[in-house]
Amino acid sequence: MFIFDFVFLHHSEELEDEDLEEPHAVDESLGDAMIRCWKRRENIIISDPVIAAWAMCVMPEVRKDCKERMTKCHRDAIDRILEKMHVHDPSADLDDIKDVFWTEFKAFQDETHPFDKKNRWNTRDVQLGRSHVWHEKYSEPHTKYLGWFGMRWGGKYTGIGNCERAWGHLKHLKNGKRKHLSARAVEMQSIIYTTARINEARIRELEFENHVSGDASRMWSDDDINFDLQLENFGVDTTVLRSVSRNRIYKCWFEEWEKVAVKKNDPV
């Protein structure tokens, strides 16, 4: 995801440079300038996942907009998403899957069976736009493909927040004399860096599991056992040491200043 955002941001940066070079009318209004910039990036911003999230949204105003403006291009984009989601299954009948999906989608738009229960459209999930949660509750149990599709695409973030956060990571790579790195170079460095960090995390996790996880005996070494045997030589009853100790609950009180300090994110 980060790699995609890096490339997207770099590509957007190149488009901004082109916008600066593109001549425009001196008396161009702010609205016209925004429309011109939007049209230059429309094909990049309105991707197939964005269209899928738009179609699966359960908010009334979005569903109305989808019903009025959905065209063949939007349906083709959703078909491409369905094909990608079943690419791992060579035995899948894509024609049958698409036919069943669009039948269920029509029922979803028209609020017919199994979407004819009015109370389902008045839930808090609809008001807050939590489409993936709504599809999990009311769509997935009653449909063959639509609910499964809606749970995966109804909750995707389609705004620019991920790109904005990724730009902060990208600035660590493109700084100083390296600010002219191409999109390809940024993508390769991102892959190398991410792979290295994942491998380091796996090594640390494996080391931790070898020492801590598993049965209780793994936490004791041979030195601990030998030390236990030495205690027996001094007449110590080691069976008492092996027994489970009684839990003692210690109740203390908060000072007035502690009630304030405990809510602060500091060492105190």
Domain boundaries, the chain: 46-153
Q: Are 166 and 2 in contact (CB under 8 A)?
A: yes
Q: How does 2-19 read in b/e, with b if 16+ C-beta sit within 10 Å? A: eeebbbbbbebeeeeeee
Question: What are 218-236's pLDDT values in tens digits?
Answer: 555 566 656 666 667 777 7
Residue 135 pLDDT: 95
Residue 9 pLDDT: 43
Which amino acid type is present at position 250?
Y
What phi and psi values does residue 8 have, to the nearest 5 degrees?
-65, -45
Question: What are 234-246's pLDDT values in tens digits?
Answer: 777 777 777 766 7
User: Residue 78 contacts by C-beta under 8 Å, 6 or more apart in sequence?
Assistant: 48, 51, 52, 55
SS3 60: helix
Least confident stretch, 75-79, 192-196, 214-218, 263-267: 214-218
Residue 10 pLDDT: 45
**Alpha-carbon distance 146 to 107, whole Å?**
10
State what percent of residues in the chain have pLDDT above 70.
78
**Alpha-carbon distance 213 to 13, whole Å?**
48
The H helix count followed by the E strand count for the chain is 14, 0
**Alpha-carbon distance 75 to 193, whole Å?**
38
- C-alpha neighbours within 13 Å on the C-beta side of residue 67: 14
User: pTM to 2 decimals?
Assistant: 0.52
Residue 241 pLDDT: 72
Question: What are 72-126's pLDDT values in tens digits?
Answer: 999 999 999 999 999 888 889 999 999 999 999 999 999 999 999 999 999 999 9
Answer whether residue 162 shows pLDDT above 80: no
Residue with the two structure tokens 């105003």? 61
